[in-house]
Chain A
């Protein structure tokens, strides 16, 4: 047992740190990070694309992939370190859908042609993806979906609606799960398709989140034509592909590293801010709250590393990754809640007000964090997974 980074890891980590330290100085004013920051404004998107290009140039988007598809064949632990450092610096530049979900799916289940067609573009940060899974009547129960694709010659004709499609308004492509056998029920008769978002017949409508940010979309398909060759895996057997895609890369490292940063900022705030003539951080109640925040963020990051380690050795870490997800989103919520308590009356001040502490990041995060309990599978579903996979309990 040895928790120390290897000498090579130390060098690599420093490279990451130096890069992000320098580059994040060019972030748009008041940048607080998060997926929302990337896709809610043109300025955020432009910064993301610029960072994606730079990361792509360095080969850092595809650290652990095979070389022939633009990767570097480095161990998963290197990728974990990258995710951790990037998360800490709140840098954009990684398209989570393309990099963390679709790419491993393609590597596992794509044809040679499909891999060549997409992976190098993802590795260079040139092609943005969105995830077309959820529908109005298919949330946790994804297999209840009804968007249908009818085969006509070498094309499918798509009709239906997806929802909550994060970033569809900037995405070049969408990976979707749709019903190809209309007589089928539930998980039978589904297929996994790659859809060019420029295809005629696609309509995108924004669905602002409670902050007012444009993140989600509703995506409508009206006789959209998708070549049959864009299907991953066999026809009507897309469920297995979908299930596998859910399981890739879920250590939540970036998230915990972001939490660690948030906690550091709240600590700084409490050290600098005086109440009744004394720094807030000298107040025992404040000290204990801050220490509890440090503890939560540290435990989370340590666990994320454990999950990555299991994946590094070739394990799927299904229950472990679910634990990281639910621990991450719930502790994220608790941290923003505690952070707001420490900011006091000023916690309500929005970004843009010169009175707002920490650029108003907590006011925003307090609203954003609730969504983390749903995206990528709700906290309840993650707990089901832990019960079934981790504890082998019977399905209800």
Chain B
């Protein structure tokens, strides 16, 4: 048992923090939020040079071969600084989908390029009803000669607008059990019939509506087994959930740090507002939220990293951190007063992201139902 980060992990965090602070100032964050592209290619390539895209990929695919736990720590730093980029879609979701479900051919084709920053991926899971339940997958893929033909509408597909490949979760068979008959495909985003439009969201984070209109995909682009894709999808979901938790922990820490600094600087009635007990207690509550969030997230991330049974742990973590991060950003603004409500202030960046992250990969209600199922309520 060792609940501390290793020295290398501490170094990874520090290095990432310094890098992001320097390379991704909040002025850039705001600029990217308002652009259509949503990320900086220059920064993307610098990240690739640091090996971040291939952090978890094996050496043979140009990766660094480190653990998912390490990736979670990197995500924590990305959440702390805020980094608008398709990193999450590409690395946490796409790369692992290929690692877990891909054939050797698919891996060799995609992963080395992905590790070198040449490929962006996006996960096309949710549909207009916005639910992660298997019965909500209605986008159909029908066999036709050497191809499958996909029809349907996906929503909340982060980064589809800049992606080279989409991982599309489709229905290939209707059966009495909704988990049966789900298949994943690698879709070239430039295939004829793929229509993509950014939908405006609270996180200004380039989520898209993706319409598949008779999109023909070669059979060899199937990811994993025909009709048995749900277990692969669930593994993607687990990583997505914990990955979001890690980002949220970083964002919550940044919010607390800002509010704590401000409480020491801002003087009213001749004293720093941080000497008022009400403000102290808001901050103490935030401190508890941030720290409990981190400890529950690390354990869940570690379990995912070690391939241990993890669904309940992940659901508990995501459910808890969702609410904790929202509480933290809301109080963070309260400590700041009116200035915290402006577009120019960083508090709003975090406040909006706490809502976006809560809704990504399972809101609290979804997590609670998952716990209920795991515990056989």
Contact = CB atoms under 8 A, between A and B. Distances in A.
Interface of A: 1-6, 9, 77, 267, 270-271, 281-282, 284, 286-288, 290-292, 294-295, 298-300, 302-303, 305-306, 309, 313, 319-320, 323, 326-327, 380, 382-384, 386-388, 390-391, 393-396
Which of the listed residues A4, A6, A271, A326 has the most CB atoms from chain B within 10 Å of its own CB? A4
25 contacts: A1-B69, A4-B1, A281-B377, A286-B377, A287-B369, A287-B372, A292-B319, A292-B368, A295-B316, A295-B368, A298-B296, A299-B295, A299-B320, A302-B296, A306-B291, A309-B3, A313-B4, A320-B291, A323-B287, A380-B277, A384-B277, A384-B284, A386-B287, A391-B260, A391-B280
Interface string B276-314: 110111011101100110011011001100000000000
A79 to B, nearest CB: 13
A3 B291 contact: no
A234 to B, nearest CB: 33
Given A271-B377, A295-B316, A303-B291, A393 B280 contact: yes
Contacts of B287: 319, 323, 386, 390-391
Q: Give me the 8 closest cross-chain CB pairs, A-B, nearest first.
A: A291-B368, A387-B280, A386-B284, A291-B371, A383-B284, A281-B377, A287-B372, A309-B3
A386 B280 CA distance: 9
Nearest to B260: A391
B143 interface: no
Contacts of B280: 383-384, 387-388, 391, 393, 396
Given A3-B299, A271-B377, A299-B320, A306 B368 contact: no
Contact of A303 (B279, B284, B292): B292
Nearest to A270: B377
Contacts of A387: 274, 280-281, 283-284
B365 interface: yes
A299 B292 contact: yes
B166 interface: no
Contacts of A4: 1
B167 to A, nearest CB: 29
Contacts of B296: 298-299, 302-303
Nearest to B5: A1
A391 B367 contact: no
B377 A295 contact: no
Nearest to A393: B274
B377 A267 contact: yes
Interface in B1-40: 1-6, 9
A391 B284 contact: yes
B264 interface: yes
A306 B376 CA distance: 28
A385 to B, nearest CB: 8
Given A290-B377, A386-B284, A393-B264, A303 B275 contact: no
A305 B281 CA distance: 24
Contacts of B365: 288
B270 to A, nearest CB: 13
A17 B288 CA distance: 30
B263 interface: yes
A313 B3 CA distance: 10
Given A270-B377, A390-B284, A396 B371 contact: no
Nearest to A312: B3
Contacts of A3: 1, 3, 299, 302-303
Contacts of B299: 3, 302
Given A267-B377, A303-B295, A393-B283, 16 more contacts: A77-B1, A270-B377, A281-B372, A284-B369, A287-B369, A290-B375, A291-B368, A292-B368, A298-B316, A303-B291, A305-B295, A327-B288, A383-B284, A387-B274, A391-B260, A393-B260
Contacts of A386: 283-284, 287-288
Contacts of A298: 296, 316
Contacts of A77: 1
A249 to B, nearest CB: 18
B193 interface: no
Contacts of B319: 291-292, 295
Contacts of A299: 292, 295-296, 316, 320
A5 B316 contact: no
A76 B115 CA distance: 43
A9 B1 contact: yes
A1 B375 contact: no
A76 to B, nearest CB: 11
A286 B369 CA distance: 10
A287 B264 contact: no
A134 B181 CA distance: 67
Contacts of A288: 365, 368-369, 372
Given A387-B281, A391-B284, A393-B274, A294 B375 contact: yes
A305 B298 CA distance: 13
A95 to B, nearest CB: 28
